[in-house]
Amino acid sequence: MNDMEKFTAEREALNKLVLDYGGLEIKRFFSLDSQVYREGSIPVKYKELMGLVASLVLRCDDCVKYHIGRAFDENVTDSEMEETMAIGLVVGGSITIPHLRRAIKAWDELKQKGNTNE
């Protein structure tokens, strides 16, 4: 398993644990969290890129990885990804650089698996 696959496997195992312990409010929050990224007036692809920018400026590596995986599934191109990261970097400043590095590594890993979006 590469990094992204390990991340996804661990994420799913822990989400199960969260829902085991979690009461109604936590379950409702998780449900809301998927609803807001659904297709609407704004296409899913751009919603995922919004989630990515938000995750980058808030400097949450796991959230960044998750939205990068989703962006890849939505056929985001290299240049769309690059423009999104440039916005995150300028809004969030140099403090986001370590997260940007790991973001690009995750993106590169997905691209290297052979099924590129370009």
110 contributes a contact to its own copies by CB under 8 A: no
In whole angstroms, give the CA distance from residue 22 to residue 40: 29
The SS3 assignment for 77 reads coil
User: Which residues lie closer than 8 Å to 47 by C-beta, 6 or more apart?
Assistant: 36, 37, 38, 40
Smallest distance, its own copies to C-beta of residue 69, A: 14
- DSSP assignment of 9-74: HHHHHHHHHHHHH--HHHHHHHHHHHHTTSSSSS-HHHHHHHHHHHHHHTT-HHHHHHHHHHHHHT
Q: Build a one-symbol-per-residue string for 18-47: x at contacts with its own copies by CB under 8 A, - elsewhere.
A: x--xxxxxx-xxx-xx-xxx--xxx---xx
Q: Build a one-symbol-per-residue string for 44-83: x at contacts with its own copies by CB under 8 A, - elsewhere.
A: --xx-xxx-xxx-xxxxxxx-------------xxxxxxx
94 contributes a contact to its own copies by CB under 8 A: yes
95 contributes a contact to its own copies by CB under 8 A: yes
CA 87 to chain centre: 15
Pick from 4, 68, 71, 85 the residue near its own copies by CB under 8 A. Answer: 85
Q: List interacting residues with its own copies (CB under 8 A).
A: 11, 14-15, 17-18, 21-26, 28-30, 32-33, 35-37, 40-42, 46-47, 49-51, 53-55, 57-63, 77-98, 100-102, 104-105, 107-108
